[in-house]
Each structure stands twice: as C-alpha cells, then as structure tokens.
Structure 1
Amino acid sequence: MVTISSLPLVDFKSDLRSAKGTIRKRVLAFRLFRVAALILLDATSLILAWRFAAFYKTLSELPWTVQTPFELLILTVELGMIAFQGLYNVRIYHCNYRRLITTVSLSNLFLLLIAFFYESNLYISRSTFLLFWLLSLAFICTARFLVDAVTRKLCKLGVIRYSVFLITDAEEKESSIKLIEKENCYNLLGVTEASSLDRHNREGMLEFLYNQDIFEVFVSWNAIKKRLYISWYFLSAGITLRILPVEREVVPSKSILWMIGEVPCLTIPAPIIAGSDFWVKRCFDVFCTIILLLLLSPLYLIIALLIKLDSPGPIFFRQNRIGLHCKQFTIWKFRTMNTNAEKLLETLEAKNEIKDGILFKLKDDPRITRIGKFLRLYSLDELPQLFNVLLGEMSLVGPRPHSIRDVKRFQKNHYIRQEVLPGITGLWQVSGRSNIDNFEDGVKLDITYIENWSLWLDLKILLKTVKVVLQKTGAY
C-alpha cells in the first residue's frame, strides 16, 4: 500500500474555461500528436474523396468542383463539425463511429447548400455530392478503424501504456486489479485505500499522483462518497477519474460510459462550463448585453437622477467580489444603501436571517434608502452589472458572486460554484430569491444549473427572471 498522509500541500492551478486547461503538460505532447494525426488522416480522406468524386463528375465544368478554395471550404466545414462533436477528444481512445457518420453526413448536406447558393443559376451535380458523401464516409471510417486497430495492437505489445493508480477498499482490491489488467493498456503503478480521499489526505494524494506522472486514477464505486465533488477536485488537478462499477447502482446523470474489456465503467464529468460551451455562452452574453444596454440606457439616466435626489453619496456602489477561480473583481450596482453601510454591517450581524451565517440577509435592513428599497424590489440595482458581463467578469446567468466576507466562510465543497463565471441571475434567484434562508440549498441549485447547463436553460432562466421580478417574488 502507498502511504500519502505525510505529503505536503500543493496548489494546483488551471484555467477551466479552456478545453486544454486541465490537460497535464507532461502528457500534452502525446495527446497533441494523436489529435494532429487524426486531423491529418481526416483531411487526407476528405480531399481524396472529393477528387475521386470530381474525377467521375458529369460533363459540366463548374467552378466549385475544380477550384482549390472549395477544397479548403470542405476541410473547414467538415473538420470543424467533427471537432465540435468532440471526435478529436484526447481523452477518448476509441472512435464513436455512429456520431462520426452522422457528423460527416450533416457536413456534406451543409456543403451542398453552400454550393447551391454559390452558383444558384448553374446546374449542381447531385451525383458528385452523393459520391463524395459515400467516399468520405468510407475513407474516414476506414482511417479511424485502422488507427483504433493499431492502437489496440500497440497496447497488447506493451508499446503504449498509460500510467494509472487505483484507489479501492480492501475487499474490492483483487477484482479491481484484474479488471484493469484485462484491458492490457494500463501500467498500474500502485494501489491505496479509500482513506486517501479523506479531506486531510486529499491534497497529499494529489501531489503524490502529480509527482508520479499519473493522469488517470481508477476508483471503486464504494470507495468514493461525494462523487461529483471528488471528480471536480481531480479534474482541476489535471487527473481523469475512472469509476469502476458495482452491480445494481444508479449512476449520476450525464455520466460518460466506456468499456474495460466487456465491463462498462463510467466517468462523472466535472460540473464546469468549459471549452466550446464556454465560448457559446460568452457570445450569447455579449450579444444580449449590447442589446440590453442600448434599450435600457434611458432607464440608467432616470435611476441615476433619482438616487442623487434621494440621498447624498455616489450613484454607483462598487465592491470587491469573488468570481471565476476565486479571483477578485469589482462589481457595479446602483447604490441602494447609505454611504456608511459597510461600517454598520458588524452591528447587524446578530440579526442575520440566513441560518448558517455564510451570507447576510436582513428583511428590514435600516441601511437601505427609500429609492434603494424600490430598486431592490424590482432588482433594478443590478443593471450596472451588464458592464461586468461585457468585460468578461460575469455572465448573464450563473451563480451569484459573493463578497470576500461570505467566501471566507465557505466550506471546501462550496468552491465548485466558483469554477464558472458568476451571473446576474441564476437558478437560485428564480427559485425563491431571498426566501431561501439556507446557503446549502442555494449551492445545490447552483450545482444543478452547472450540471444541466444549456443555452436553452439560460433563456428559460432569463425569461423566468423577468416574471419573478415583476411579481416581486421573495424580494427585499
């Protein structure tokens, strides 16, 4: 057994907004080589398929069948869609042929539409595109099959070996080792007990794995309790967690199933919005924010004037909040309190209505001004945060950013919500707003949002936010 309790603490830092952010540098070269090889094979297959199809084309000589720029367009569209579908994922070592066939077929349909609009007055050879579609499927699938076959052969010969580690209970140790060795592509460097995942051992465990150049860890199902949190914890250190199965267990939603021989295992995706998801969400935020700023600019002027007339002090309230990856940023709001509000906070702590004391909420807060109460009632004080969204410090939808005072009181599992951009509104806000008096309940809602994120979910939350604000549900 490996003892890790005496190992020192290590701080692992990575940018989870990037699809490459959690890939360990020590294995990056191998994975980049694999991706480059797949892209090169796919590009070669597509060009060969197009040229064979063009060679047997009809007698019509059309620009889009003979010009090089159209071949570049083919590569851009086809490879782009293959990449978007995750078929160059460096963590997946076997091709998903069903998804590949669907992606290539849709790409060919899109190219046919482009060709039609490019030469709308000329005859488009349907036979050319039909032949290209069939040949591209045949060539790409054959190339991927050969890559998989060569990879499996190299694994059996021991040329390719992935260094892995096993964490398991004593009673499951032998069966877990046999299961890993059956795949014949892993180099099992060590085994330790489930206690290595305890809170006081966890940091030392990660440092040990890092120093041993291990980037995949197998864990038996019964050895891991807080599965979602532990999966995030390992991923943030650049280590993939593989969970070995047991019979009759209900697996979490969105788990990724994969095989060791004939036995299905799973990986629980960490609750983060990363890679292409991040940039889709970011583009949506910027587009909507620009429109909202243009439409709401007169309202900004009216609110600023009312604040000035109501009480002395600045129009805006600025405060340091904790955002993505626990980095500080300055949040902007319309001022709703007296200028000495921060100083009075300590005297009001005893009246806090949040049960666990992490956040501070007080229904009849004496620090709030007259116009401030109205602004809070309809959440108009949050409007300046659109500038935070434009600067990339916030998103329209996400977990709310908390003050330094609040974050200092976080427990370790609360920090999962800091791995995505904070939002102006979120699932917590449309599920009761200030009526939720327990921080743990709010965190569960934040995690639910992150796990189930989609652009459609953001739209639904934004629309529900309008309804909740107009009805003044749970506002104070």
Structure 2
Amino acid sequence: MTDLKKTDSAVSLWQTKDIRATNRSIRWRTPQMLLRPTISILLDMLMLSVSWTIANRLGTPTPGVQIAETMTPMLAVNIGTLAASGFYGTDDKLHRFAKLFKSLLLAQVVILAAAFFERPGLWWMSRSVFAISLVLNFVSIGGARFIVDALTIQMRKHHQVFQQAIVLLGDRVDIDRVKKLLKRSQQFRVDSVIDLSVWDMQSQLGQIIDRIRSRKVSEVFICSPQVIDNQIMFFWNLKTAGIHLRMVPTDLPLPQRSAETKMIEEIPTLRFKSLPIFGIEFRLKRLFDAVASLLILISISPLLAIIMILVKRSSPGPIFYKQDRVGLKGRRFQVWKFRTMVENAHELQQELEAQNEVKGGVLFKIKADPRITKIGKFLRQYSLDELPQLINVLQGQMSLVGPRPLAIRDYERSLEDIGQLSQDRLLRYEVLPGITGLWQVKGRASVDSDEIFYWDMVYILQWSLTLDIKILLETIKVVLFREGGY
C-alpha cells in the first residue's frame, strides 16, 4: 500500500508541466496584475519630474547644468530604489511614509555619489536644490500614493471587479474566520472555497489542483496548513500553475509588524523582535498621551461646558457618571463619563440581563437600551460621553488608545471561562486601557466578545505610535459617519 502511494505521487509529479515552460493559465490575469504597478510607476515619474523642476527653480542652480539633461538617470535611480523597496507590489497602502522617505533619501545619496564620480570636483546639485527636491519628492509621491490608495479602496467597495480573486482552502471553521478578516480589507474577493473536510488531499490532489486552475485566480489562501498531508506536492503544483500561495493564521496572528525573514543556511526563518510597548516606547506613549489629552481638553472646553448644561437639564442626577473599571495589572479605577442613563440604571441592568446582545454574555450591550436618556442617545452616537476620560488619561489611569477597560461585571465574567479559553486574554491587562482602540475602528458594530478580544491582542502585539495616531484618525471618521456602535 505504501509503495502504491509513492508510485501514484511520482506519476502525478511526472505529469506536471515543466516549470520553465510558458504557463497559459496565468496569461489572462497579467494585465490586471500589472495595472496598479504600472500606474504607480507612471505617477511617481510624473511627481519626480515636477518636483525636480520646481526644486531647480526655487533653489540655486549649478551654472552650466540643465536639469533636463540629468532627469532620465535621476528618474531611473529613484524608480529603481522604490522598486527595490517594494513600492510597486499589489498590497494595499503602498505609501508607507517612513519607508518612502528612507527610499527617496537613499536615491538622492546615490544620485549625488554617481554625479561626483562622473565629474569629480563638480557638484552639479546645490544644497538648496538637494533639500527642496527631497521634501517635494516625499510630499508629492506620498500625497499622490495616499490619494490613489484611498480611491482604490473606495472602488473596491463598490466594484468587485477591482478586488483580487482568490480561493480559500482549509477546514470550514478556519475558512469562515479568514472570510471575516478579508471582508474588512475588501482587497480580495473569495471566488470559491475548498473545504478539506470534504476533500481528501491524499487521493484527490489532482482534482483539487484542477479546480483551483479552472477558477483562474491569482492566489490561494491556505487557512489550515496543518491538515495538508503532502504540502510539498501541493505547493509545487500551485507553483507550476503560476498561482501564488499565502498562509493565513486563523488564530491570533504573531506580531507581523516586527517580523523579518532570516536565512539560516538555505532555511528561511521568521524572526520576531521583542514587544515594543514596554520600556522607552511606553514612556513615549505616556508623553504623547499627556500632551495630546491636555491640548484636546483645552481646545474643546467650550463644548464640554455645553454638554454639562444639557446633561444637567435632561434628567435628574449628576453630570458625570463614574464607574469602577479594571485597568493595568487588574487594578480598579473609576472611569469618567458624561451621564447618559437614568439615575438608577445599575439596578435596572439586572432586569435586562436576558436581553444582552453580546455573544457569550461576557460584555453587556443592548442597542435599544431603555435606560438611555434622549441627550444620552445623542452623546453616545458621536461618542461625546467618552470625552471626560481625557481626565483619566492625564491621571495616568488610561491611554488615548488601548483595549477598552471592562466594567467589574464584565471582567469577572471574562475570568469565568479563562480555563476553557486561551490565557492570552489576560495580556489586555498588561497595558493601559484606552478611550478608543482597534475594535472601535475595525469591529465596532460587532457584538461578538471573541472578536473584541481578538482586536485587543492584535493591537498589543503590533503597537507603535504610528498605529496609535492611525487609530485616532480612524476613530474620528467612524464617529463622524456613525459607523457601528451603540
């Protein structure tokens, strides 16, 4: 029996087309795959040409040197550097400002070095032209790419033809999880799925490959790599079909932001640096929180005064509502909010427990909560009731961005299942809780506690100040357009 399987595998391998041969199955998608990189290259060339021309006029030009004469090699160096840095791929958000600036700076240095060795002693680019062109290159290319990325995302939302067709392969549970993740990005369109609980990889490998080829997709997402028996044979067949392969973690992803590929001899490995949210990074985060929250409080003080008057007149009770929450290291503190409910709301919650809409019952939320006042409903719609928590930020009990602090009731219920669930949920108490977070901008409409904890873990493992600023900007958009929430 073992020898027969080996023979079948060998025959299957011998019937595979020569990998060096032209593969017709991928010709159909070549124009679509090349469209975005081509547009990016042409746009970058235009921005660079305009920036260099403007810089040469604003700065001090070198006598006897015409910018038009050097434009072609300068464009070649810049485009080559950007290409080597991965700026002409098919992934989203190809502006990546920090990496873009480094790439453009490297291109400038290469151009200066080449010019010096070609004409020793003649600096054909003045310091003013160098500085102005670098700034203009970064602003123009970064701005253009940001706009293109935003337009691309909007076009994908309304027209599936701009989404990349893929096949999902794995167990049904893992496939459903990946579908949820892909639905948010809208970069990919799930053309079909291959449920490995129905298919047998050992005996039906050829049929599975034929089905994938017939769908004319550019990539296959492996959602359950552990259930693929003959991975090498499967990967080879996809490779010879010209189809890219992507492994998708269905559980909590590792901190991909700090991952780098390292080769040990001929073996590729992924190296993960230590979590960045500790040490000096934590102090930078606290400094940013303190300065930003103080400036925000000062600037919105008139708005806070108006809200205080409206809350006081809306119903009997105090202006502020202070509730015990669980924060860093499981310590309890009182969170500040504008009161949005009737005065005896806590007592009424016991009667409403049966109407809880959060899956699993760990958190308590009801969309049409009868305890909310009229002004409270408006404040919640635009998250204005959360503004007093800037005081908690100044006191060092909270951060602007982080996992939401749980109420005592929710915290205790989350611990009841900690033996059955992964203990990584406890990591959310190793960082300061926040006014907003990844869940608020990614899954705000979700009432699934597992998804809430999932985004908390993603934030903790991939934290950076850049991510904090991005979440704050996304929060403003979510609040203004009232996307999700209660």
TM-score (norm 1): 0.46
TM-score (norm 2): 0.45
Greater length-normalized contact order (CA 8 Å, ≥ 6 residues apart) = 1
